[in-house]
Structure 1
């Protein structure tokens, strides 16, 4: 097990049970489409890692709170575009919660109170919203020019102390950090990896993960294989 300070993004679908009840096949297809067309390349472009898929929910970790916030803005922006011409009752919309904390990384899972805090913040979020803890605000306030609303402290389940919650306003300032979505291969194309330090290996669960050290060398011949491994790792929640 490894302990480290990281930023966590938690998201889930608004009204998922109702959507499944009314149109199971259609809802599942849209959730899968959002994940593959939007979330996977956006997460890869912001150096994130999908730790866990939970039906309608995602847990994503980042080394940088700034990239976590940028990723969240891009996710909500592009889902909003997708929903533009869909009747509101049929739209697949998301809540997002962000937190920074000391987490325990165990194989392809993540543990710690910080995960629970991120999940509880997400549950407070409005549809299409991005809510975050005071720890996230501390790390991004001088690095990103965004409008933030202070929502005060909230007492939530299984967390002993009240959580100070902030909401990111999806206005022109937020849209200024939106970047075009590149296909997954292009999102990792900028990675330069020395041939001898890059390999795919099975983890304990029998899945394949990419193990690489970024250097000044390059591999071009193996890029498609690397991309395939990265997609598999992102999809299944393995480490990259």
Structure 2
């Protein structure tokens, strides 16, 4: 991917600095290890990464069409945004029916995930099946590259995405082992190891919690 392409996506001072370092890294004979250390020093931060997905979404889109697709996306963002605000999260981006949210503390990320699930449960009370919002959530925690407010990259981002989008079922919250280390003091949850280990993590767990 060219530097020019990156600049079109992320037009910011952050990217200008990153672009210079990437170009330097591409120079023959460049000390890539030293440049990588500089990039991590500039853009590396520890965050909890929450990734949501909606169970059954693709099937309903195929059955009910693009307007239904837009309606569910609109409603999910509308009902989940207050949850994110209550727990000091930052919505970085939405991709289709998925949301990527950052939190400084893993406990707040997990509290937000539980809040989202309960909010969706209440929302669904008077909805037909095709309009119900059925969240799946994955959470990771660790050092990641943050490119301003535009995007994030790193092993824990990938792990959270894999858990939330590909592994979790409706109403499930799955977390990486690095999250577990920091939420074990929460008294209202349980943690059960699962067989699936997403790339970028050493283990993953299913969170048990009271949905209502």
By percentage of residues, which structure has more helix?
2
- 2:197 touches 2:204 (CA, 8 Å); kept in 1? no
Alignment partners' CA distance in 2, 1:136 and 1:79: 23
Matches within 5 A, 1:97-116: 97-107=138-148, 108-116=150-158
Alignment partners' CA distance in 2, 1:87 and 1:137: 36
CA distances 1:115-164 after superposition (whole Å, capped 9, x unpaired): 1111112121121111111111111111x2123231334244xx276x42
User: What secondary structure sits across from 1:7 in the alignment?
Assistant: strand
Alignment partners' CA distance in 2, 1:46 and 1:134: 21
- Which of residues 83, 86, 90 in structure 2 aligns to 1:42? 83
Q: CA 1:46–1:155 in 2, change beyond 3 Å: closer, same or farther?
A: closer
Q: Structure 2 stretches of 5 or more lacking a match?
A: 1-41
Alignment partners' CA distance in 1, 2:51 and 2:162: 9
User: What secondary structure sits across from 1:84 in the alignment?
Assistant: helix
Aligned length: 168
- 2:136 touches 2:170 (CA, 8 Å); kept in 1? yes
Moved more, 27-36 or 65-74: 27-36
In angstroms, what is the RMSD of aligned CA positions?
1.9
Runs of 4+ in 1 over 4 A off after TM superposition: none
- Output the TM-score relative to the length of structure 1: 0.64
Q: Structure 1 stretches of 5 or more lacking a match?
A: 176-240
What does residue 184 of structure 2 align with?
A: 141
